[in-house]
Structure formats: structure tokens, C-alpha cells
Amino acid sequence: MLNGLQPWHLIILVLIVVLLFGAKRLPDAARSIGKSMKIFKAETKDLAGEPAAEPEKKELPAATAQPAAADQQVAELQRQLDELKKQQEQQKHAS
């Protein structure tokens, strides 16, 4: 009996993976594993002293970037939320 990995072992392994994760999740899982391997390779090269390739930097489109006005709105909404919480606490203590 050989201890090596036989083709039918691989078929059973693939069937188990598909049953566990489902066919819809497999592409996302494969992408995640690929990204992880890319990062791992870059880090091991860095540890070995070799210059690692710069990872791709993706920029957000201009429509999704938050300008300073949005930061002001967030700060104003946070202030209003804090005021409402204080009012609720005062009402609880008054009753």
C-alpha cells in the first residue's frame, strides 16, 4: 500500500470542501488565500533581507472620499447625539 496522495484522495478532499463551504463561497475563499499568500511571500522576502515588491495601493474614487465638510457634519451629529443622551439621563433621574 502506498502512502502517497492518490487521485481519488484529491477527489474526496474536493467534495468535502465543496460540501463544507458551498460552491458560492469558494471563489471568495480562493481570493482570500491568494492575497494571504502574496502578503506572506512579501514578508518572508523582507525577513530574508530581499527588497519586497510594493503591494498594490488602490485609491478610493472621488465620490467615496470624505471631504472636510463631511467630517464637520459627523462632529455635529455626534454633538447632537451626546446632548440627546444627556437629556434622556436627566429625564430618568427626574422621574
- Domain range annotation of the chain: 7-54+68-94
State the pLDDT confidence band at 55, using cuts at 50, 70 and 90: low
What one-character-per-residue DSSP string does 64-84 give? TS--HHHHHHHHHHHHHHHHH
Q: For 20-40, write each residue's pLDDT tens digit.
A: 888 888 888 888 989 999 999
pTM, full prediction: 0.35
CB 50 within 8 A of CB 41: no
- Whether the pLDDT of residue 63 is over 70: the answer is no
CB 39 within 8 A of CB 47: no
State residue 26's pLDDT score: 82
